[in-house]
Amino acid sequence: MTAGACNATQRVHEFAAIGVGPFNLGLAALSEPVHGLDGVFLERQESFDWHPGMMLEPAHLQVPFLADLVTLADPTSPYSFLNFLKQTGRLYRFYIRENFQPLRAEYNQYCRWVAGQLDSVRFGTDVREISYDDGVYRLAVEAPDGPEVLHARRLVLGTGTSPYVPAGCGGIVDAGGLVLHNAEYLLRKSELQTRGSITIVGSGQSAAEIYHELLQEIDVHGYRLNWVTRSGRFFPLEYTKLTLEMTSPEYVDYFHALPQEQRDGLIRSQKNLYKGINAELIDAIYDLLYTKSLSGMVDTQLLTHSVLTGAAWDPASESHTLQLRHEETRADYALETEAVVLATGYGYREPEFLAGVQDRIARDSSGRFAVDRDYSTGVEPGEIFVQNAELHTHGFVTPDLGMAAYRNSCILREITGREVYPVERSIAFQQFGPPPGTARQDVGRGDVRVATGVPA
């Protein structure tokens, strides 16, 4: 046996899942009743806490409660959202509310409730480095009781995404003044409201929620409020039922079979399918603007088509200058503001602990994870799986809570070698590629040859 290999007396987990957000927490809940399956879930935070900076009181999920951690894989699971409501005495209140979308804070409470029942989940355990030898991954971790080494045959990477800061903000981030990502919004809201002007940069749900909340209190604090978006308008989240069919195994089959260049182009064009604003919130913003305008013009600007190209901080005036370009007119202009909220989303960043196992990871031509249809990205099939790091291979459904139970069912099937939970293969009425058996289209005319009916 080579140096560093695991000896016979050491416990070797079937898999180690790193990062405990909703996706890996769902995997933990679905793994728990599987007899003989030994998995461990590692999270460096001391407890489960999902986007604490955006727990605005009225904010709710954009998906119904059926998209909880387990129900779409196992409706009988004791870890369902409905059972959480029953056990906490709120089921009838939820029923009377007649709104199937849980509050965001309520969903966070639910996830905490599930996490507290699972012995496989270890909080306060930070993975520092990983190595591989003789078919086993060696994880060096910093645990509550000190350094520790764990062993596992497979990895499931669920470390999540990190706040994204546009390149144009380089002149103001850490330069002074008040600039924050929306992930910190609630923690610093009171500080924001002491400034004479606030500018929100972003086009999605988070930007809209923050704008709406700050607009409600604009008269109390007397600040000027700006909302800057590069989008041509404030796009609502597309939520019609035939569009929702795209969150399906069939669409993932179709998308995954497309050439990489076409997948990348589709992701750029489909943002309103998963990054749009709830239509009710858009209407509420307009109604609030209308109500406040009865007393005179509201001190606010909504600026569309505006791309942030640069930014600077002036300590003398204690203000930021945002350099913007209007994309349709190509006109450049500047906006002065005392505070900036970057509601610019999140991006995947590979964790540093993967440095020691780079040779075990498959890559595409752009250096990203080459993720197979079964969500594995190892050089050996079924060895390393990813959660929410496959947007470029599996499409816009990647961050969707409603597809998480499906993905976890697929991962468990690969780990155990059997279909623990039935994996749906066909749920859509529509077809996303050409009908099976039709002639292949001419690539020379710009059409793309795609495989259809790829098994899930």
Q: Give pLDDT tens digits for 207-222.
A: 999 999 999 999 999 9
Q: Tens of pLDDT along 24-79?
A: 999 999 999 999 999 999 999 999 999 888 888 888 998 999 999 999 999 999 99
Q: Is residue 1's pLDDT more than 60?
A: no
Q: Tens of pLDDT along 336-373?
A: 999 999 999 988 899 999 999 999 999 999 999 999 99
Q: Which of 446, 100, 411 is nearest to 265 (CA)?
A: 446
HEC readout, 242-298: HHHCCCCHHHHHHHHHCCHHHHHHHHHHCHHHCCCECHHHHHHHHHHHHHHHCCCCC
Q: Which of 4, 252, 25, 65 is nearest to 158 (CA)?
A: 25
Of the CATH numbers 3.50.50.60, 3.40.50.80, 1.10.150.300, 3.30.70.270, which one belongs to the domain with range 165-237+275-342?
A: 3.50.50.60
- The boundaries of every CATH 3.50.50.60 domain in the chain are 15-162+347-416, 165-237+275-342
What pLDDT is attached to residue 399? 92
What pLDDT is attached to residue 66? 96
Q: Is 409 within 8 Å of 421 (Cβ atoms)?
A: yes
What pLDDT is attached to residue 6? 55
Residue 240: CB atoms within 10 Å: 7
C-alpha distances in Å from residue 416, one per residue of 180, 372, 410, 430: 44, 17, 10, 32
Q: What is the per-residue DSSP string for 203-254?
A: -SHHHHHHHHHHHHTHHHH--EEEEE-SSSS-PBPP--HHHHTTSSHHHHHH
Of the CATH numbers 3.50.50.60, 3.30.365.10, 3.40.50.1100, 3.40.50.1000, which one belongs to the domain with range 15-162+347-416?
A: 3.50.50.60
